[in-house]
Chain A
């Protein structure tokens, strides 16, 4: 945009502003018009009362309205209210009131006036206020455009991030043929998030599941989630070995994550046919093993958080699985309530809720959320992910 000041000090954008002057006295309209023209404003329109003003506004766009109060048919207060109703809060309305009319000033502001100028008009005051309000309007528009563009970009990034997550086709191709089932829930708290989960084929009988929670929320956490996604694609040699797999991921993350950023993670290799689970964790909320007989146990979530120490070592744990057992892994947003710490959930409460809802077929995730949060669509303070992996009974 060309913002070079002209001889009158107005930018081209200002000179192009469209100003509607509403006054029932032809001499007043002419006076205001000539003051504005002398200042460089050339796109002026006139109306002789409120009805004419509203008719003009129905057909045309204005950047500002200069408004008299006492007019036949429809007065200035009514015009203010009508403009606010129709055009919103950002349209500048400059109301002229007589010096004696103290009550009208208050009423004009109540009706929606942006500002007031004294009548009879003082030339310097009028043009100063016009310029001020046009500048404000331009700033608001610029911010609005910026916000719209950021929202568009965030939406595009959000859809890219959702594309990172496995879909039903991946689950059908990897998990089902190996005798498992998988239900997942993912929700970012600020459009973009730092949670990620993945499934990998290990060999003919085994598959791997991975859940990671990058510290922080929003854009920076999401960028780190993309980095993790790129790294894990290269870790195929370690896929069968959870401890080695996490160690390799950690080794690659340590040099690139800023000092106060890290990730918590859980990686499991599951062999439903042989009934074996091997897993390793790095500071993850302890996943739950829900037994077919209704009992449950918490797995070990401990392990140095990823990205802090390049040569950190991790430990692989082994568990036996039976047909009908389920593995439930979740990010800490499911259990931690920072607004009401007393309402944070312990493993037993989560296990009980998952056991109660897991057998119910469709819409497990929705029912679990409704049960744990007391409503269907809670505001998540943090990114939330959970996975339910089932071993198909043979």
Chain B
């Protein structure tokens, strides 16, 4: 997994690329802390470059959402496609995190 962001603006947009699995746990935790600490009221994870996600990856999205919401902010997902879209749809994540 790679991510790219200016870490500025509102909404703050982070582009996530590659494959999101258990192996990315540590880096994603850093990312979650960074976006939760940011000034932005809305954080958008752009997943259009993400090709696959496993259950640990879904867990990381939920953990990021939890952190962001606890700071009074909103997390949104956008650009889901392929296997990621299937998993997001199947798990009804939109009941927890808005999906654009």
Contact = CB atoms under 8 A, between A and B. Distances in A.
Contacts of B34: none
Given A338-B52, A341-B51, A215 B95 contact: no
Tell me the interface secondary structure of chain B in the complex.
helix
A264 B91 contact: yes
Interface string B33-71: 000000000000000000110111011101100100000
Contact of A338 (B54, B59, B89): B54
A286 B55 CA distance: 16
B83 A344 contact: yes
B63 A259 contact: yes
Interface residues of B, number: 23
A261 interface: yes
A382 B95 contact: no
Nearest to B25: A260
B17 interface: no
Given A302-B89, A338-B21, A344-B83, A261 B59 contact: yes
B58 A262 contact: yes
Interface in B2-34: 19, 21-22
Nearest to A285: B90
Nearest to B19: A338
A336 B86 CA distance: 12
B92 A216 contact: no
A304 interface: yes
Contacts of A338: 19, 21, 52, 54
A284 interface: yes
Which among B55, B66, B83 has the highest number of chain A CB atoms within 10 Å? Answer: B55
A308 interface: yes
Contact of A308 (B56, B60, B62, B90): B62
A261 B58 CA distance: 9
Contacts of B22: 216-217
A260 B54 contact: no
Which among A216, A286, A303, A305 has the highest number of chain B CB atoms within 10 Å? Answer: A305
B41 to A, nearest CB: 22
A123 interface: no
Which among A213, A282, A336 has the highest number of chain B CB atoms within 10 Å? Answer: A336
Given A283-B91, A336-B83, A262 B62 contact: yes
Contacts of A332: 54-55
B92 A304 contact: yes
A312 interface: yes
A301 interface: yes
A376 interface: no
Contact of B54 (A261, A283, A304, A336): A336
Contacts of B56: 215-216
B21 A305 contact: no
Interface string A146-171: 00000000000000000000000000
Nearest to A281: B90
A309 interface: yes
Contacts of A304: 91-92, 95-96
A305 B92 contact: yes
B59 A262 contact: yes
Nearest to A305: B91
Contacts of B96: 304, 308-309
B83 A215 contact: no
Contact of A215 (B19, B52, B55, B92): B55
B92 A302 contact: yes
A336 B84 CA distance: 12
Contacts of B66: 259-260
Interface in B78-99: 83, 87, 89-93, 95-96
Nearest to A307: B62
Interface of B: 19, 21-22, 51-52, 54-56, 58-60, 62-63, 66, 83, 87, 89-93, 95-96
Given A260-B59, A382-B54, 8 more contacts: A213-B55, A216-B56, A259-B62, A303-B92, A338-B21, A338-B54, A341-B51, A341-B83
Interface of A: 213, 215-217, 259-262, 264, 282-286, 301-305, 308-309, 312, 332, 336, 338, 341, 344, 382
21 contacts: A213-B55, A215-B56, A216-B22, A216-B55, A259-B62, A259-B63, A260-B62, A262-B55, A264-B91, A283-B91, A286-B90, A302-B91, A304-B96, A305-B58, A308-B96, A312-B95, A338-B19, A338-B52, A341-B51, A341-B52, A341-B83
